[in-house]
Amino acid sequence: KSEVIDLTATMQPDGALDWTPPEGKWVVLRLGYSLLGITNHPATPEATGLEVDKLDHRFVADYFEKYLDSYKETVGAEEMGNKGIQYVINDSWEAGSQNWTDNMLTEFKKLRGYDAVPWLPVLTGRIVESAAASDRFLWDFRKTIADLIANEHYQQLEQTLHQRGMRHYGESHESGRAFVADGMEVKKMNEVPMSAMWTQRPGINNPQYGYNADDRESASVAHIYGQNIAAAESLTAAAAPWAWSPATLKPTADQELLNGINRFVIHESAHQPLLGKAPGLTLGPYGQWFNRNETWAEQAGPWIDYLARSSYMLQQGRFVADILYFYGEDSNLTAIFANSSPNIPAGYAFDYINADAMIHELRVANGRILTKSGIEYKVLALDPYSRHMSLPVLRTIHTLVENGAVVAGPKPLDDPSLADDQADFEKLSSELFGNGSGVQKLGKGTVYAGESLAEVVNKINLQPDFDYIKNSSDSDVEFAHRKLKAGDIYFVDNRSNHEESIDASFRVTGMKPELWLAETGATVPASFQSGEGRTIVPLRLEAWGTVFVVFRTPTSGTSQFIPRPIMVRMATLSGPWAVAFQAGRGAPPSITLNQLSDWSQSQDPGVKYFSGIGTYRNTVQAPAEWFHNGHRLWLDLGEVRNLAEVTLNGKKLGQTWHPPYRIDVTSALRPGRNEVTIEVVNAWVNRLIGDQQPGATELTFADVKPYKANSPLLPSGLLGPVTIIREDNYESPR
Concatenated DSSP letters of 489-538:
EEEEEE-SSS-EEEEEEES--SEEEEEE-TTT--EEE--EEEETTEEEEE
Confidence of residue 734 (pLDDT cuts 50, 70, 90): low
> What mean pLDDT is predicted for residues 391-397?
98
Confidence of residue 630 (pLDDT cuts 50, 70, 90): confident
Confidence of residue 398 (pLDDT cuts 50, 70, 90): very high
pLDDT digits (tens, 9 = 90+) for 321-338: 999 999 999 888 999 999
Angstrom distance (rounded) from CA 65 to CA 157: 9
At residue 179, the pLDDT reads: 86
- Contact indicator for 509, 534 with CB cutoff of 8 Å: yes
CB environment 547-558: b (16+ within 10 A), e (fewer):
bbbbbeeebeee
Angstrom distance (rounded) from CA 336 to CA 338: 6
> Phi and psi of 645, rounded to 5°?
-130, 130
Based on C-alpha coordinates, what's the Rg of the chain?
A: 31
At residue 96, the pLDDT reads: 85
At residue 97, the pLDDT reads: 86
> What mean pLDDT is predicted for residues 442-448?
98
At residue 442, the pLDDT reads: 97
- Contact indicator for 586, 696 with CB cutoff of 8 Å: no
Angstrom distance (rounded) from CA 424 to CA 403: 20
At residue 629, the pLDDT reads: 79
Task: Say yes or no to pLDDT of 731 above 70.
Answer: no
At residue 433, the pLDDT reads: 97
How large a percentage of the chain has pLDDT more than 70?
99
Q: Coil, helix or strand for 225? A: helix
pLDDT digits (tens, 9 = 90+) for 659-694: 999 999 999 999 999 999 999 999 999 999 999 999
How large a percentage of the chain has pLDDT more than 90?
93
pLDDT digits (tens, 9 = 90+) for 208-262: 999 999 999 999 999 999 999 999 999 999 999 999 999 999 999 999 999 999 9
- Phi and psi based region of residue 649 (left: phi greater than 0; alpha: psi -120 to 50; beta: remaining): left
Task: Say yes or no to pLDDT of 733 above 80.
Answer: no
> Phi and psi of 362, rounded to 5°?
-110, 150
Determine which helix (DSSP H) or strand (DSSP E) holds 266, and give its type and residue range: strand 263-266
> What mean pLDDT is predicted for residues 97-107?
95
> What mean pLDDT is predicted for residues 19-29?
94
At residue 164, the pLDDT reads: 95
Count H helices and E strands in the chain, helices first: 15, 39
At residue 330, the pLDDT reads: 84
- The DSSP bridge partners found for residue 237 are 287
Dihedral angle sign, alpha carbons of residues 114, 118, 123, 125: negative
Whole-number mean pLDDT of the chain? 96
Task: Say yes or no to pLDDT of 94 above 90.
Answer: no
Confidence of residue 729 (pLDDT cuts 50, 70, 90): low
Angstrom distance (rounded) from CA 144 to CA 417: 11
